[in-house]
Structure 1
Amino acid sequence: MIYRFMIGNYPDSYWFKYDSTVVASYKFIECKEIQFNKPLVFKLEKKVSEKRLLSYDIYFSDGPVFISPRLANLLSNNQDFLHDVQLIEATIIVNGRSYSGYKVLNILRLISCIDMNKSEYVPILDDYPDGPKKFYKMVFKENINEQFCMARCEESEGRIVISESLRQFFIENKVKGIDLYT
């Protein structure tokens, strides 16, 4: 079984602004390794409780998703995960303070996982019917034989899915920031 990688109980005030001058945001949906030599930077514009914010493990931005040093450390020995995801150094700026050790998730796997016959959708652009789609109802395929931990959906590259084993890993390690129960 596969699960959609979704935000769970994540406050709006915790959305980061991504500095896309180093690596453009679209590069993260290409499922290719990205090479450069300095950390990506994310900044939180609003004043927030650092203690509460830093208790999360997964963070969302107007660019790529990134994870806490705690979760990066837990995943650093998971070879199946590292086969599917490149972890890229990141620095976050919160209330004028800089924090390092964060990692951007650059997903390298692309799998066909949405049952287009059972899903309900329309093309976003009428002139490009095979292009990006707006889903009203998304149904995942039942029998996906491909082994993976985390991947992008071939039918909609902006969507991220996780495997049952990665979902269980997140539950066992009490990962905070995503919905693991839908």
Structure 2
Amino acid sequence: MIYELMLGNYPDSYWFQYDSTVVDSYEFLQCKESQSNKQVVFKLENKVSEKRLLSYDFYFSDGPDFISPRLANLLSNNQDFLHDVQLIEATIIVNGRSYSGYKALNILRLISCIDMNKSEYIPLLESLPDGPKKFFEIVFKENINEQFCMARCKESIGRIVISESLRQFFIKNKVKGIDLYT
């Protein structure tokens, strides 16, 4: 079984801005390993409680998603995860202070996982009926034979899915910031 990676009890004020001058956001949608060795930067313009914000493990931005040093450390020995995801050094800036040890997720796997016959959608552009889709309801394929931990959906590149084993790993380690129960 697969699950869409979804926000879970994640405040709007915690959405980061991605500094795309170092690595373009588009590169994170290519499912290819980044050759850049530059550290990426995420900034939070809102004034927030740093203690509360830094208690999260999974973060969202207007660019790639990223994870806490705690979660990066937990995943550092998970070879299946590291086969599917490149972790890129990241710094976050909150209330004018810099924090290092964060990792941006560059997802390397692309799998066909949406059942297009059972899902409801329309083409995003009428002139490109086979191009990007706007989904109203998504039904995932039931029997995906491909082994993966985390991947992008071939039918909707912006969507990220996780495997049951990764979901269980996140539940066991009480990962905060994503919804693991839907």
Cα distance between partner residues in 2 of 1:157 and 1:18: 19
Q: Which residue of 1 aligns with 2:159?
A: 159
Cα distance between partner residues in 2 of 1:119 and 1:6: 18
Q: Which residue of 2 aligns with 1:31?
A: 31
Cα distance between partner residues in 2 of 1:126 and 1:159: 21
Q: TM-score, normalised by structure 2?
A: 0.99
Cα distance per residue 1:93-140 (max 9 Å; x no partner): 000000000000000000000000000000000000111100001000
Q: Summarize the alignment of residues 1-182 of structure 1 with structure 2, pairs less than 5 Å apart.
A: 1-182=1-182
Segment drifting more, 74-83 vs 27-36: 27-36
Equivalent pairs counted in the alignment come to 182
Which residue identity does 1:44 align to in structure 2? L
Cα distance between partner residues in 1 of 2:101 and 2:35: 18
Dislocated runs of 4+, deviation >6 Å: none
Secondary structure of residue in 2 paired with 1:28:
helix
Cα distance between partner residues in 2 of 1:68 and 1:36: 21
Cα distance per residue 1:28-82 (max 9 Å; x no partner): 1110001222210000001000000000000000000000000000000000000
Which residue identity does 1:101 align to in structure 2? G
Which residue identity does 1:88 align to in structure 2? I
Q: TM-score, normalised by structure 1?
A: 0.99
The percent of aligned pairs where both chains have the same amino acid is 85
How far residue 8 of structure 1 moved from its aligned partner, in angstroms, is: 0.7
Cα distance between partner residues in 2 of 1:35 and 1:55: 31
Cα distance between partner residues in 1 of 2:36 and 2:97: 24
Which residue identity does 1:116 align to in structure 2? M
Secondary structure of residue in 2 paired with 1:48:
coil
Gaps of 5+ in 1: none
Cα distance between partner residues in 1 of 2:150 and 2:128: 28
Cα distance per residue 1:4-24 (max 9 Å; x no partner): 000111000000000000111
Instruction: Provide the alpha-carbon RMSD of the alignment.
Output: 0.5
Gaps of 5+ in 2: none
